[in-house]
Structure 1
Amino acid sequence: MTTYALKFEAELPDVVDACEAAFYEHFDGLISESYGRLLITVYMDGHENAVSAAKCAAMELRRKLDISVRRTDRDLVDASEISRRTDRSRESVRQLINGERRRGTPFPKPVAAPNGKRLWEWGVVNEWLRLNVPEGADPEHHLSRDEMTVVDGWLLRWNTLPRDQHVRSEFLEIVASVSAHRELHRRPRPESEAWVSSWNVREQVVQTESRPASTPSRG
């Protein structure tokens, strides 16, 4: 069973201690305050994909803690933090980053480099480690960069639209997706065969036009 480690930034409650107590009563994960931000990591399993797990986690946090999840947390790390999380030496991590080890699969590109200090999203690095250095990766799966974008858009809509409008828009998106899928598979096969036939006809025409004219016979 796939376990997802989902990291969010949520609104800061009036009483952080009470929120923390309620969190550990209902969830498996971590919660902390950092520079005025409430950061939450929730471990979820039993879902078909990471986006579904993230949506469920956000709704459960709202229902059980009465807090709003604002966005996913990118969980940025530098080389030294990668070294700490993977339990590898800094030199070993430097070699991985520079492609001096595990040749053939480039290390992910950094998302930023303030003052030359390169930063990566841990979820992206962890997925690369899972494929290339399995012993250094977290056992849990993280949201990919595209999945974080999808979840952030959903959270923005969920936090701003009235519930009935949000549910209705979700329903319309699902229906549209299913309809498009059905239409794609409902498309009749003869249409493609007709295209092939027309292509063959045009090919025959080209060959016919390019054929040299016959020389009239001499009587």
Structure 2
Amino acid sequence: MCLYHPKRVIAVGAVCTAYTPPAKRLMPLDVVVAKVPYFSYQKVLADAGNTGKMLDTAPRRFLTAVFRKHSEMSSTLENDKTPIIGTLQGVTSSTDPIFTQRSAMLLDEELQYYVDQYTRSKFQSTCQYYATREIDFKDEQGLPSTIAHPALFIAAANDHVLKPELARKMHRFLPNLETRVVDDAGHWVLWEQKERVNAMLKAWLAKIPVPGADRSKL
């Protein structure tokens, strides 16, 4: 929104996902994975048809495995070099307890909600997100690289996929950027440390001037 309709935006924030400016040339996913091996899972998910059908056969097992704290991930399935790959490979038949034992991070009715939604809508459209690199590249041509709005980036210290270091160059493109790192939190930081994240957001938003705020008091 900041790039397409900057006048409609007062400030912008992001959690875990670092800002990447519009690319000057298309970089195929194979090239990205060669440079950043722990993005290998994106190649699997980008095969949206096949991977979607596979996940459709075991939605509860898959969601039970991925919706958990960073400290609860399987040491036998996962590693820092290629995260998520082991979980994707084991979703239909692995006996690892992460596929059957729900994390205390969420209630059973919360997990069941997601299971019901994906049972209805299927996984292919979600996986398709990783197959749109060329479409996104064409769509972003001609857009500016810099976002001048006040910006906040919140990273999770223990996110093994969207690692905090991926944001190390963000300040080059967001001159008004503030960053925060939440310790003892992984990819689901909004679940794991929601109170701390909300406090960071509240403190940051309190400093953002709102156009027309004074006029509203008249």
TM-score, normalized by length of structure 2?
A: 0.23
Q: Which structure: larger Rg?
A: 1
Higher percent of residues as helix: 1
Query: So what's the TM-score if we normalise by structure 1?
Result: 0.23
Larger RCO of the pair (alpha carbons < 8 Å, separation 6+): 2
